[in-house]
Amino acid sequence: MRILISGTPGTGKSTAACLLAKSLGAECLSITNLVKEKNLALGYNRKLRTWDVDENRLKREIERCIRKNHKIFVEGHLSHIVSHRLSDLCIVLRTEVSELFKRLKKRKYPLKKIQENIQAEIFNTCYEEAKENKHKVLVIDTTSFSSAEKTLLKDFIYELSLQS
Ligand SMILES: Nc1ncnc2c1ncn2[C@@H]1O[C@H](COP(=O)(O)OP(=O)(O)OP(=O)(O)O)[C@@H](O)[C@H]1O
Ligand SMILES: [Mg+2]
């Protein structure tokens, strides 16, 4: 069970991955944490208030973790960069733009960063990139999911059962 969870920032990857991994007794690998631990940031982008990441090194580090543990959820908007040979499924989370806007605004992101993320969601960037990388992709829309732990898990399991 090697599952990647991708999607635009704010679609709920960390929330979902933690919950699913916990309920299935799997490891939850956060790309944000991995970037920090392994010093994979190239520099800080002040305008967007994000770290630019060395994607080649990141890919190698994620793949090393997956090889070590086959019961793993990898979550982050770059998770789909790993080889499709090392992943059983790539779940792409989606959220309607108005709801995503609310979630990103809550984080007090600068408007430019919100706009970039909304644009990525409109263009379905993570999905397109995951497909390009030949992943088996499953799309789950979290717009109307509850963020309460129990209900969120139920919503996920229901969606997975519908699509499998
Ligand atoms: N299913 C959901 N329904 C409603 N709100 C949610 C849901 N999942 C997450 N949220 C809320 O949306 C926000 C974003 O969630 P989360 O941090 O999991 O997103 P993310 O995709 O991991 O973002 P990032 O890429 O920036 O790490 C949080 O405030 C969280 O409480
Ligand atoms: Mg996250």
58: containing domain: 2-154
User: What's the whole-model pTM score?
Assistant: 0.91
Distance in angstroms (rounded) separating the CA atoms of residues 104 and 9: 8
Pair of tokens at residue 98: 């108005």
What is the number of the ligand 1 atom nearest to the C-alpha of 106?
29
pLDDT digits (tens, 9 = 90+) for 90-124: 999 999 999 999 999 999 999 999 999 999 999 99
Question: In the prediction, which pLDDT does 50 show?
Answer: 84
Q: Are 116 and 122 in contact (CB under 8 A)?
A: no
With a 6 Å cutoff on the Cβ, whether 103 touches ligand 1 is yes
Residue to mutate (ligand 1; options 5, 8, 77, 103; most atoms within 8 A of CB): 103
With respect to residue 162, please indicate whether it lies within any of the assigned structural domains.
no
Distance in angstroms (rounded) separating the CA atoms of residues 96 and 35: 28
With respect to residue 48, please indicate whether it lies within any of the assigned structural domains.
yes
With respect to residue 35, please indicate whether it lies within any of the assigned structural domains.
yes
Q: What is the CATH number of the domain that holds 30?
A: 3.40.50.300
Is 48 a residue whose pLDDT tops 80?
Answer: no
pLDDT digits (tens, 9 = 90+) for 14-27: 999 999 999 899 99
